[in-house]
Structure 1
């Protein structure tokens, strides 16, 4: 691993990562960013989700939803 890669990895972990994640959540809550969700799938359908990712040109994210959570299916 080259030096620049190590430097990037260390910056993307720990407190720097938490700071960026909090900023991202703030943008999301404030309606400043709008992630595109292609499909929500129940967690037991993770295998299907992987196949969709491999064979689909669909735009958007696939979200795996745990049992009992809102948004599954």
Structure 2
């Protein structure tokens, strides 16, 4: 956060939970499971894939 990084989609997590999560990721204990990265204009397609349960992990939208 101090280096102007953004975390999006944390849901209803508390600030303490976000800090704990970042510490686990930083230590290599937890690795986020990313299924694919898609361009932002394909957001509707990303939602279709999620709703059809055709992803293993998360979809990241890039290129606002």
Flag whether TM exceeds 0.5 (same fold). Answer: yes
Bigger radius of gyration, 1 or 2?
Answer: 1
- Tell me the distance in 2 between the aligned counterparts of 1:19 and 1:58: 29
SS of the residue corresponding to residue 64 of structure 1 reads: strand
Uncovered stretches (5+) of structure 2, i.e. residues with no partner:
1-11
Larger helix fraction of residues: 1
Uncovered stretches (5+) of structure 1, i.e. residues with no partner:
1-11, 68-73
- Output one character per residue of 1:6-41: Cα deviation in whole Å (capped at 9) or x when no partner: xxxxxx56xxx0111011011111111011111111
Runs of 4+ aligned residues of structure 1 deviating over 3 Å after TM superposition are none
- Tell me the distance in 2 between the aligned counterparts of 1:64 and 1:29: 22
Question: Which residue number in structure 1 is paired with residue 26 of structure 2?
Answer: 29
Q: Which of residues 35, 40, 47 in structure 2 aligns to 1:50? A: 47
SS of the residue corresponding to residue 59 of structure 1 reads: coil
For this pair of structures, how many residues does the alignment match?
A: 53
Question: Which residue number in structure 2 is paired with residue 40 of structure 1?
Answer: 37
